[in-house]
């Protein structure tokens, strides 16, 4: 009897010890790891685990579109990973659905200094996403083609751009001034390659948080794009073209100018080491002198509402947002930091990245699709109207009015 | 004692009869359970979803009856996608059959050298080896305005305008149907070749004695002999092609505008772009009903054959 009691006591002590010592495993779904050098993101997670011995991180990594579908499914079934990589375009839907948690209570419990976060994405005054890293989209220009066309500097205004595009286009040589990917499969060309022209002029497509696509600035940008297209200055096949086709055409020297992310600089160099190119701010309407809006895409981060380890998940979020780790991550990714105190050094040793950083400092981040409901669908709806306009079946005003009416249904 | 010994065999007989009665059901049980879990349950769930205002993203869905079906049937894009799907499917099935039969006849012909036949067999089967993703990538590159197809057409002086095959509202559906025809004919070719090799040679010999020419032999022997295979594969192909999604999604995304919108892409956009899962469910039910109609004919045809 005594022996049995001692054995029972020993076993219960052992089990309680085992339970208390078992690390908590949190799941982190994102598309970042495949876009970074192999093993780089896992190494950051290993550092986190070393600093937090009670927490293990299980990375769920995949390409962007696959991750998006997994997140939609996870949100629907209540099985979303504890920590979620987010695109600003998804936040509204996931927050409304109750799939991602309000970060304010977690910040309050940790006495977290919010002011160090570059931009907190909110909905109904509640914080849902921190951008960990931002990738800005300036204008890329092929310097050799510019030189051959007798152009000595990258265009800075819309008139200069049209003039340059005319000189750079030679259909016989299969060479074009601009490229416009408008595939409906991934309609982000509307954001990066069309609305960037509105934002560059410090203008907006929203008014009081609601669609305002019929304002003169949006219509002016549509007319500008229409002119480029009508004059044959845009590389053919826009309606089926995707972002990777755009970059490919620039790499091959078939297109002289494109709006693209700085994150592609290394890839462009790898694909064509001889390509002589530069970056500059997206041209603004003639006469505009204010700060230029700079389109951007962000690697955002949030926490799932269904997570049973929110405290541990918050530790990981705050770790990635800390100045030192954020600096390290964005340096590997060649992105701009989510923490204002972070001091990445990736742009210091490279003229192109230095120029990119100058553009970033002189402008302001602008992506009005972030936080909108069904943002990707809004892009697709607008894309359909833009395609109809470019196909000559409606005017810019009609395209804007129809897209406005269509968008209003989603708000 | 004697009473007990008399009732025991009666019990055993009853148990045996009951067991025998249940046995067929027990054998079928694993399949029935699998069918119920993997087929019946999802179908019932989707039908139920289609009757609510919105599901999955909405924690408290409200029953709306057939409102989603009404919304879809009054949506212009749905009718465009239905027309495109039928166009895509009918032309695919017809040309799959013509090309598949043509190549099968060629490979079955005694006129062609056996080495050439072997090479052709490998060459003709190639499209079937590729996955849809690879097919989409290959044809996106080939049909690019600066791609190989336009280069060849220019070199042959067929055109000098560089058609935008996948991004023109006039050409995209034709181009996509062509790609699907290219990708799908080997299924017919292989099936019909097997059928051709199974036709007794005596039939052709008798026809020759009767003085029949090649065309008469083809229409009076080959086609009637192949007709059960032709009907089966054509109906299966119709059902499969009706559900096309990856090829369209990876090449045009349903565009330009709605020129290549098919029921598959229309449904996907409702679900994963607009998050209208109930509308998407209603659309899926409509596709199911159309497919069931074809499946009904297929099963009926199979029963007649049996």
Q: Kindly state the average pLDDT of the residues B90-111.
A: 94
* pLDDT tens profile B237-260: 999 999 899 999 999 999 899 999
Q: At what angle do helices B132-142 and B148-155 cross, to 10 degrees?
A: 40
* pLDDT tens profile B211-233: 999 999 999 999 999 998 999 89
Contacts with A336 (C-beta within 8 Å, 6 or more apart), sequence order: A118, A133, A134, A135, A136, A296, A330, A344, A357, A360
- Mutation site, A237, A388, A411, interface B, largest B CB count within 10 A: A237
Q: A122 with A44, same domain? A: yes
The verdict on A387 touching B (C-beta cutoff 8 Å) is yes
Its pTM stands at 0.83
Asked if pLDDT for residue B7 goes beyond 60, the answer is no
Q: In whole angstroms, give the CA distance from residue A267 to residue A243.
A: 13
Contact assignment for A237 to B167 by CB distance below 8 Å: yes
- Give the up-direction half-sphere exposure of residue B143: CA atoms within 13 A in the CB hemisphere: 25
Residue A366 in domain: no
Q: A71 with A214, same domain? A: no
**C-beta separation of A100 from A303 below 8 A:** yes
**C-beta separation of A264 from A250 below 8 A:** no
Q: How do beta strands A336-337 and A121-123 pair?
A: unpaired
Q: A288 with A174, same domain? A: yes
Q: What percent of chain A has pLDDT over 90?
A: 64
Q: Where are the domains of chain B?
A: 1-49, 69-305
Which pLDDT belongs to residue A181? 95
How many domains are contained in chain A? 2
Tokens for A207, please give them.
């008014």
For residue A41, what are the domain limits?
Answer: 20-136+297-354
Which pLDDT belongs to residue A156? 94
Per CB-CB distance under 8 Å, the chain B contacts of A375 are none
Tokens for A369, please give them.
């699709």
* pLDDT tens profile A30-80: 999 988 888 999 999 999 999 999 999 999 998 887 788 889 888 888 899
Per CB-CB distance under 8 Å, the chain A contacts of B149 are none
Closest CA to B182 of B224, B149, B158: B149
- Using alpha carbons, list the distances in angstroms from residue B170 to A261, A288, B166: 33, 40, 9
Which pLDDT belongs to residue A97? 85
* pLDDT tens profile B122-167: 889 889 889 999 999 999 999 999 899 999 999 998 888 889 999 9
Per CB-CB distance under 8 Å, the chain A contacts of B172 are 240
Q: In whole angstroms, give the CA distance from residue B215 to residue A65.
A: 53
Closest CA to B103 of B128, B88, B123: B123
Q: At what angle do helices B223-242 and B172-197 cross, to 10 degrees?
A: 140
User: E-strand spans in A273-367?
Assistant: 277-280, 293-294, 296-303, 336-337, 364-365
Contact assignment for A387 to B255 by CB distance below 8 Å: yes
Asked if pLDDT for residue A9 goes beyond 70, the answer is no
**C-beta separation of A268 from A250 below 8 A:** yes
**C-beta separation of A250 from A260 below 8 A:** yes
The number of C-beta contacts closer than 8 angstroms across A and B is: 85
Q: Kindly state the average pLDDT of the residues B59-81.
A: 92
Instruction: Tell me, rounded to whole angstroms, the distance of Cα A248 from its chain centroid.
Output: 20
Task: Report the alpha-carbon angle A222-A226-A228, nearest 5.
Answer: 120
Which pLDDT belongs to residue A255? 97
Which residue of B254, B258, B273 is in closest CB contact with A376? B273
Asked if pLDDT for residue A238 goes beyond 60, the answer is yes
> What is the complex's ipTM, to 2 decimals?
0.82
Closest CA to A363 of A88, A137, A120: A137
Residue A258 in domain: yes
Which pLDDT belongs to residue A5? 53
Q: In whole angstroms, give the CA distance from residue B38 to residue B27.
A: 18
Name the burial class of residue A331, with classes exposed (0-12), middle (13-18) and buried (19+) by CB atoms within 10 angstroms of its CB.
Answer: middle
Q: A119 with A143, same domain? A: no
Which pLDDT belongs to residue A17? 46
Contacts with A24 (C-beta within 8 Å, 6 or more apart), sequence order: A54, A55, A56, A309, A312
Which residue of A97, A185, A239 is in closest CB contact with B57? A97
Q: Kindly state the average pLDDT of the residues A231-255.
A: 94
Which residue of B57, B59, B166 is in closest CB contact with A240? B166
Which range is least confidently modeled, A111-115, A157-161, B8-12, B19-23? B8-12
Residue A360 in domain: no
Q: Kindly state the average pLDDT of the residues B56-72.
A: 88
Per CB-CB distance under 8 Å, the chain B contacts of A254 are 146
Asked if pLDDT for residue A12 goes beyond 50, the answer is yes
Decide which of A326, A354, A382 is a domain's last residue: A354
Which pLDDT belongs to residue B299? 82
Q: In whole angstroms, give the CA distance from residue A109 to residue A102.
A: 13
Asked if pLDDT for residue A406 goes beyond 50, the answer is yes
Q: In whole angstroms, give the CA distance from residue A168 to residue A148.
A: 8
Q: A237 with A268, same domain? A: yes
Per CB-CB distance under 8 Å, the chain B contacts of A240 are 140, 164, 166-167, 172, 251-253, 255-256
Confidence band, pLDDT 50/70/90 cuts, at residue A18: very low
Q: Kindly state the average pLDDT of the residues A390-407.
A: 96
Asked if pLDDT for residue A15 goes beyond 60, the answer is no
Per CB-CB distance under 8 Å, the chain A contacts of B140 are 240
Q: Kindly state the average pLDDT of the residues A363-369.
A: 87
Residue A224 in domain: yes
Q: A65 with A132, same domain? A: yes
Q: Kindly state the average pLDDT of the residues A101-118.
A: 92
Q: What percent of chain B has pLDDT over 70?
A: 95
Q: A268 with A386, same domain? A: yes
Asked if pLDDT for residue A20 goes beyond 80, the answer is no
Confidence band, pLDDT 50/70/90 cuts, at residue A389: very high
Per CB-CB distance under 8 Å, the chain A contacts of B164 are 236-237, 239-240
Q: A120 with A145, same domain? A: no
What CATH number does the domain containing A232 carry?
3.40.190.10
Which pLDDT belongs to residue B237? 93
Per CB-CB distance under 8 Å, the chain B contacts of A90 are none
Confidence band, pLDDT 50/70/90 cuts, at residue B68: very high
Burial B5-35 (b: 16+ CB within 10 A, else e): eeeeeeeeeeeeeeeeeeeeeeeeeeeeeee
- Using alpha carbons, list the distances in angstroms from residue A400 to A220, A295, B255, B300: 10, 20, 19, 52
The verdict on A237 touching B (C-beta cutoff 8 Å) is yes
Q: A209 with A287, same domain? A: yes
Contact assignment for A384 to B255 by CB distance below 8 Å: yes
Q: A256 with A160, same domain? A: yes
Q: A131 with A147, same domain? A: no
Confidence band, pLDDT 50/70/90 cuts, at residue A262: confident
Asked if pLDDT for residue B235 goes beyond 70, the answer is yes
Which residue of A238, A376, A377 is in closest CB contact with B167? A238
Residue A8 in domain: no
| Chain B contact residues (CB < 8 Å to A) | 56-57, 59, 140, 144-146, 162, 164, 166-169, 172, 249-258, 269, 272-275, 277
Contact assignment for A72 to B145 by CB distance below 8 Å: no
Longest dimension (CA), chain A: 99
Q: In whole angstroms, give the CA distance from residue A122 to residue A109.
A: 19
Q: Minimal Cα distance from B58: which residue of A? A: A97
Residue A380 in domain: yes
Which residue of B145, B166, B169 is in closest CB contact with A391? B169
Q: Kindly state the average pLDDT of the residues A337-351.
A: 83
User: E-strand spans in A160-207?
Assistant: 176-178, 206-207
Confidence band, pLDDT 50/70/90 cuts, at residue A1: very low
Which pLDDT belongs to residue B112? 83
More confident residue, A251 or A359: A251
**C-beta separation of B230 from B237 below 8 A:** no
Residue-averaged pLDDT of chain B: 89
CATH 3.40.50.2300 fits B69-305, yes or no: no
Q: A202 with A242, same domain? A: yes
Helix (H) or strand (E) holding A131: strand A126-136
Best-predicted range by mean pLDDT among A45-59, A114-128, A326-340?
A45-59
Which pLDDT belongs to residue B56? 77
Task: Provide DSSP, B214-228.
Answer: HHHHIIIIIHHHHHH
Per CB-CB distance under 8 Å, the chain A contacts of B273 are 374, 376-377, 380
**C-beta separation of A82 from A28 below 8 A:** yes
Q: Shortest Cα distance from A141 to chain B (angstroms)?
A: 21
Residue A398 in domain: yes
Residue A169 in domain: yes
More confident residue, A327 or A371: A327
């Amino acid at each position: 009897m005594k022996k049995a009691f001692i054995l029972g006591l020993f076993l219960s002590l052992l089990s309680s010890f085992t339970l208390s010592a078992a690390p908590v495993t949190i799941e982190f779904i994102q598309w970042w790891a495949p876009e970074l050098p192999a093993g780089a993101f896992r190494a950051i997670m290993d550092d986190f685990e070393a600093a937090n011995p009670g927490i293990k991180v299980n990375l769920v990594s995949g390409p962007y579109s696959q991750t998006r579908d997994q997140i939609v499914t996870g949100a629907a079934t209540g099985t979303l990973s504890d920590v979620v990589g987010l695109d600003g375009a998804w936040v509204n839907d996931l927050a409304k659905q109750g799939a991602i948690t309000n970060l304010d209570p977690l910040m309050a419990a940790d006495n977290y200094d919010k002011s160090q976060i570059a931009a907190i994405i909110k909905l109904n005054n509640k914080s849902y996403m921190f951008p960990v890293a931002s990738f800005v989209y300036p204008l890329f220009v092929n310097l050799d083609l510019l030189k051959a066309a007798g152009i000595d500097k990258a265009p800075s205004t819309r008139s200069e751009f049209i003039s340059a595009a005319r000189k750079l286009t030679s259909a016989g040589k299969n060479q074009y001034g601009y490229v416009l990917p408008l595939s409906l499969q991934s309609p982000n060309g509307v954001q990066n390659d069309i609305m960037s022209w509105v934002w560059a002029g410090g203008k907006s497509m929203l008014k009081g948080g609601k669609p305002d696509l019929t304002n003169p600035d949006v219509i002016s940008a549509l007319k500008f794009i229409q002119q480029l297209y009508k004059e044959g200055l845009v590389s053919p096949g826009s309606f089926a073209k995707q972002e990777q086709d755009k970059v490919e055409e620039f790499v091959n020297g078939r297109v002289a100018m494109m709006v693209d992310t700085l994150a592609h600089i290394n890839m462009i160099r790898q694909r064509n080491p001889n390509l002589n190119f530069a970056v500059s701010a997206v041209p603004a309407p003639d006469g505009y002198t204010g700060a230029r809006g700079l389109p951007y895409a962000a690697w955002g981060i949030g926490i799932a509402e269904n997570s049973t380890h929110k405290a541990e998940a918050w530790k990981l979020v705050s770790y990635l947002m800390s100045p030192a780790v954020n600096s390290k991550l964005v340096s590997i990714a060649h992105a701009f930091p989510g923490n204002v105190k972070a001091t990445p050094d990736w742009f210091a040793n490279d003229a192109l990245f230095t120029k990119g950083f100058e553009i970033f400092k002189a402008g302001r981040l602008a992506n009005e699709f972030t936080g909108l409901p069904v943002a990707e669908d809004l892009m697709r709806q607008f894309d359909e109207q833009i395609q109809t306009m470019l196909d000559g079946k409606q005017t810019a005003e009609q395209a804007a009015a129809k897209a406005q009416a269509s968008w209003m249904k989603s708000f | 004692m004697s009473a007990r010994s008399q009732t025991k065999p009666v019990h055993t007989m009853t148990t045996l009869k009951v067991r025998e009665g249940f046995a067929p059901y027990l054998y079928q049980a694993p399949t029935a359970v699998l069918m119920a879990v993997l087929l019946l349950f999802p179908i019932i769930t989707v039908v139920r979803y289609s009757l609510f205002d919105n599901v999955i993203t909405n924690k408290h869905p409200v029953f709306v009856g057939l409102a989603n079906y009404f919304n879809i049937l009054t949506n212009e894009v749905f009718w465009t996608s239905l027309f495109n799907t039928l166009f895509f499917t009918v032309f695919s099935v017809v040309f799959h059959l013509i090309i598949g039969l043509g190549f099968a006849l060629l490979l079955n012909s005694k006129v062609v050298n056996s080495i050439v036949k072997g090479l052709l067999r490998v060459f003709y089967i190639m499209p079937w080896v590729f996955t849809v993703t690879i097919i989409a990538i290959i044809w996106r590159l080939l049909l690019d305005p600066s791609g190989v197809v336009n280069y060849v057409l220019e070199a042959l002086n067929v055109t000098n305008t560089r058609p935008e095959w996948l991004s023109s509202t006039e050409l995209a559906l034709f181009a996509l149907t062509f790609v699907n025809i290219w990708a799908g004919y080997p299924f017919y070719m292989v099936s019909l070749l097997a059928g051709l090799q199974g036709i007794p040679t005596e039939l052709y010999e008798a026809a020759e004695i009767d003085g029949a020419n090649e065309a008469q032999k083809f229409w009076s022997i080959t086609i009637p002999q192949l007709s059960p295979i032709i009907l089966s594969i054509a109906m299966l192909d119709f059902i499969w092609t009706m559900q096309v999604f990856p090829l369209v999604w990876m090449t045009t995304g349903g565009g330009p505008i709605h020129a290549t919108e098919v029921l598959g892409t229309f449904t996907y956009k409702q679900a994963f772009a607009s998050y209208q899962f109930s509308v998407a469910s209603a659309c899926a039910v409509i596709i199911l009903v159309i497919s069931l109609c074809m499946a009904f004919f297929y099963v009926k045809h199979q029963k007649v054959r049996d």
